[in-house]
């Protein structure tokens, strides 16, 4: 792709008012929800698209899950850490880049931005549930016995919120049951 084709693709995606050329081979896209940077390397051989996701202070407990997402989920984009910020990043050789790939990468970056911590938090929770399943199985517990233990923990106040209503507790236990049933035979 040429710089002109890149600019054209960005304009098609965001409109002329959102796309600003900040230097030759560098664009900034401002939307109501994010600021995207599109940068060519100094020798114009590589394109990098960057979107800040969240500060490292918020992301710190989930760094393992961010790296796992890079391996399993993010496809052509990646999470990266730079100057105290978790970024969504897409890099591609400009000679083999086509408009559809650039558009897809930008859409995926916007999706990562919108998800924020949701996906990595869910990945962390799922890993914890798998640990509970593994421990229960090592103790010879069945799925039903494991669920009864969790119900007892909630009834005794060892788990859950202090002021949790019975309806709230039932909703949480239903979610536990769904997750345990979904993951029980995998672990």
Measure Cα distances from 106 to 103, 115, 122, 158, 178 in Å.
5, 14, 23, 44, 34
Does 15 have pLDDT greater than 90? Answer: yes
Q: What does the alpha-carbon distance between residue 133 and residue 180 come to, in Å, rounded to a whole number? A: 7
pTM of the model: 0.72
Q: What's the pLDDT at 187?
A: 54
Query: For the segment 122-177, what is each residue's pLDDT rounded down to a tens digit?
Result: 877 888 888 889 999 999 999 999 988 888 888 887 777 777 788 888 888 888 88
Does 55 have pLDDT greater than 80? Answer: yes
Average pLDDT rounded to a whole number, residues 33-52: 96
Tell me how many degrees the CA angle 112-89-72 measures, rounded to the nearest 5.
Answer: 60
Q: What's the pLDDT at 174?
A: 85
Torsion of CA 29, 31, 35, 39, to 10 degrees: -20
Q: What's the pLDDT at 36?
A: 96
Query: For the segment 81-123, what is each residue's pLDDT rounded down to a tens digit?
Result: 999 999 999 999 999 999 999 999 999 999 999 888 788 888 7
H-run or E-run covering 85: strand 85-93
Nearest to 42 by CA among 27, 58, 26: 26
* Residues 144-161 as b or e (16 or more Cβ within 10 Å = b): eebbeebbeebeeeebbe
């Amino acid at each position: 792709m040429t710089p002109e084709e890149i600019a054209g693709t960005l304009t098609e995606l965001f409109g002329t008012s959102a796309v600003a050329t900040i230097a030759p081979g560098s664009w900034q896209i401002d939307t109501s929800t994010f600021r995207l940077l599109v940068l060519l390397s100094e020798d114009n051989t590589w394109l990098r698209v960057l979107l800040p996701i969240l500060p490292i202070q918020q992301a710190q407990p989930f760094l393992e899950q961010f790296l796992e997402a890079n391996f399993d989920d993010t496809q052509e984009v990646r999470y990266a850490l730079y100057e105290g910020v978790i970024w969504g990043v897409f890099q591609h050789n400009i000679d083999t880049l086509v408009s559809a790939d650039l558009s897809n990468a930008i859409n995926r970056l916007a999706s990562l931005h919108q998800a924020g911590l949701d996906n990595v938090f869910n990945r962390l929770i799922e890993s914890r549930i798998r640990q509970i399943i593994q421990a229960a199985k090592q103790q010879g517990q069945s799925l039903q016995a494991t669920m009864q233990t969790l119900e007892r923990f909630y009834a005794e106040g060892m788990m859950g919120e202090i002021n949790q209503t019975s309806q709230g507790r039932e909703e949480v236990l239903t979610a536990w049951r769904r997750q345990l049933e979904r993951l029980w035979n995998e672990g």
